[in-house]
Every structure is written in C-alpha cells, then in structure tokens.
Structure 1
Amino acid sequence: MDERDLELLTLIEKQGRLETSQLAKMMDMKEDEIALRMRRLEEQKVILGYSALIDWKKTPEKERVTASIDVKVTPTRGRGFDAVAERIYRFKEVKALYLMSGTYDLAVVIEGATMAEIANFVSDKLSTLDSVISTTTHFQLKQYKHDGMIFVDDDDQDPRMVVSP
C-alpha cells in the first residue's frame, strides 16, 4: 500500500459516491489505474464495503431504536476476548462491536424496532452467554452527528420561548 492508495481511501471514505472518472481527475491518474487500485484494495479486504448514511427520521419508515450496551466478560483461555466477541457479533441485531479499555470490556451497538425488542435481546441472547458477567444498556435518544455527518438541520428552530434573567 502506498501514498496514492491512502489518498484514494481517504477520498472514498468521505465521499463514497464518487465515480472512477471523478477520482481519476482529483488524483491526476487514469481511470483504469483507479479501478485497478480499488479492486486490489477490495480483494485485500482493506475496502470492506460501501454504504450510505441515512437520516431515517426523514423517511416514512418507522424510526429504529438504537442502544449501546457495555458488556463485562470473562475472556476465553487461549483466545482472550476474540471468542466471546465472535459469538456476539454473529447476532443479526448487532451493528457494531468494539473491545474497550476501562470498566467494561466490550461495547455493543444494536438496533431494534422497539425498546422491548432490545431488552429481549439483552436478557435472552446476550446475558445468557456463559462468559458475560454483566451488561449496562444505554438507549440512543437523539442523533446529532455520525461518521462526521451532522444530523441537525440548520432550519430546525427550537420552539421553546427564550427566558432570560
């Protein structure tokens, strides 16, 4: 991997919809060279996929409930936290999973249709794993920024009256 690969990765991370022709112009390279680099980076699993960041509250789709769960676990002999993490990230509800420093070992981000669905996931699936010692669940109330994108509209006005002393 060279500096051009890193530059390409930075561009598509910020603007994943850029076409090969646009990337070629921005990087002063040929389109076929850009396509070749991207294909190689995909094969090497450096580029894992492409996704759009959606503000679901602006769609007719019902909003989803998102929760972050702090999990304290007993690591597995010989595999550490990896074996436990593998069991957890295989659940379809899990959107992200991180090994953390501090009081808790793992941070799990999940989505569900309701708070009850998330509660059932924690009580029926997550906390029943042998290596899970404890969990703390935090429900996301409002999203302001995600992956560098701001979700608050500038035209959103606070309807509360200003009160000053």
Structure 2
Amino acid sequence: MVNEILEILNEDSRRTPEEIAVMLGTDVETVKQKIAELEKNKVIVKYNTIVNWDKTDREYVTALIEVKVTPQRDQGFDAIAERIYKFPEVKSVYLMSGDYDLAVMIEGRTMKEVAFFVAEKLSVLDSVLSTATHFVLKKYKVDGVILEDEEKDYRQVIVP
C-alpha cells in the first residue's frame, strides 16, 4: 500500500487522504497514518508545485553545469556534493556516470549571475577540476508534466 500511496502523491500531491483511501479501497485513517510515517521517515520530503514560469513575468535563467571533481579520501563525492548543494542558487545535484561527475542545476536572474556563480563560487572549490555550463533555452516537460499541452490541428487545408 505504501508504494501505491507514493505513486498517487507523486502524480498529484494535492490528493487528499480521503481520495487516496477511495482509490485504494481502504480507510482514511490508515492512509493518514502511512503518510505521516512517510513524512517522519523523510521518504516524503516535500510537496511541490510545477509552475510554467514562461507564462509569468518572472525573469530567470536555468543552467545545467557539468562538474568534474576529485573525490576526497574516505568521503568520495559526498563532501564536494554537499558543499555545492548548500549554495542557494543550486536547485539539484546529481552524481553521474560518464564524462563528468556531478550535474548541477542552478537558477539565476541573468546569464551574468549564473556565470558569476560558476566563476566565483563553483570553479574555485578545491576539488573542482572543470566545469561546462549549458543554459536551458526552453522547458517542454518538467517532472513528467508537459508544459505546453495545446492540441495542434494537423488537418490539411484544402483551398478551392
């Protein structure tokens, strides 16, 4: 039942315990108890809203930064990842396989602000060997949600 609750909340975190209970064919108190346990044990860490910022007047830049690092003795990548994720500009940090070690997602008000972060905060860290910054030009889908879901008319126009 726990995995089913997590799947439902992951799909739509606005679902109430009453709705989830009906969906799973169980009682509301059981669902509330399971959710409380999941929150207490940090399985459910936060409830998010996905916003299509392109439809607002908020200006900001998102960038993906590839970071090559030297792992630290007895700590591996964890220590440098922690130093990086503590910066307020950083939205996500992932340990990666392949050509680089960490993928860092950041947000800034301008490209200059992002460049300043990379030059003055990230690349100067002792364990950082190199960085490559990629700016997000447009978001089509975020966390499984298509942001521009307009029906397109593919019918052929016939001119008499």
TM bracket (short chain): over 0.9
1:35-79: CA deviations, max 9, x gaps?
Answer: 00000011111100101000011123x232000000000000010
**Unaligned regions of 5+ residues in structure 2, if any?**
154-160
Aligned residue among 59, 70, 73 for 2:69: 73
CA RMSD of aligned residues (A): 1.2
Structure 1 residue 156: deviation in Å? 7.6
Counterpart check, 1:116 vs 2:112 = yes
The answer as to 2:94 corresponding to 1:98 is yes
Question: Structure 2 CA distance, aligned partners of 1:142 and 1:63?
Answer: 13
Q: Which residue of 1 aligns with 2:44?
A: 47
Q: CA deviation at 1:153?
A: 3.7
- Of residues 30, 35, 58, the one that matches 1:33 is 30
Q: Secondary structure at the match of 1:135?
A: strand
Question: What SS does structure 2 have at the residue aligned with 1:40?
Answer: helix
Q: What residue in structure 1 maps to residue 82 of structure 2? A: 86
TM-score, normalised to structure 1's length? 0.90
Moved over 6 A (4+): none
* TM-score using structure 2 length: 0.92
Q: Which amino acid aligns with 1:87?
A: R
Residue 126 of structure 1 corresponds to: 122
Q: 1:145 aligns with which of 141, 144, 150?
A: 141
SS at match of 2:105: strand
Q: Which amino acid is 1:63 matched to?
A: E
